[in-house]
Amino acid sequence: MLQCAVKFCGGCNPRYDRGAAYKRAVRELKDVAAFSTAQDRVKYDVLLIIRGCTQCPYMYEEIKAEHRVVCTSEESIDKAVEEIRRLAEVKTEN
């Protein structure tokens, strides 16, 4: 099971319901990923960054994670879920 953290952007220009997108990701990945809010000094397999817009370049480098998956729209949550599921499959194979 992947250990995943979530980080929301500041929401200065939200174009979709970011909370609903997060809930959807958690629901669709419950068999392969455990989600929590990001904590200091914890290393995660995946950091899911949920942004309200496409302009912010900040990747939260201070959070330790092997992979970063960015969601910038309601439509991109599907790709984010697929990418995290693929990462879980790779981890299982190794």
Q: What span, in angstroms and rounded, lies between the C-alpha atoms of 65 and 15? A: 26
Residue pLDDT, tens place only, 40-70: 899 999 999 999 888 888 899 999 999 999 9
Residue pLDDT, tens place only, 21-45: 999 999 999 999 999 999 989 999 9
- Which of 43, 35, 44, 45 is closest to 6 using CA atoms? 35
Cβ atoms of 49 and 4 closer than 8 Å: no
Q: Where are the domains of the chain?
A: 2-93
Q: What pTM did the predictor assign?
A: 0.92
Spell 5-44 as b/e; 16+ CB within 10 A means b.
bbbbbeeeeeebebeebbebbbebbeebbebeebeeeeeb
Cβ atoms of 7 and 63 closer than 8 Å: yes
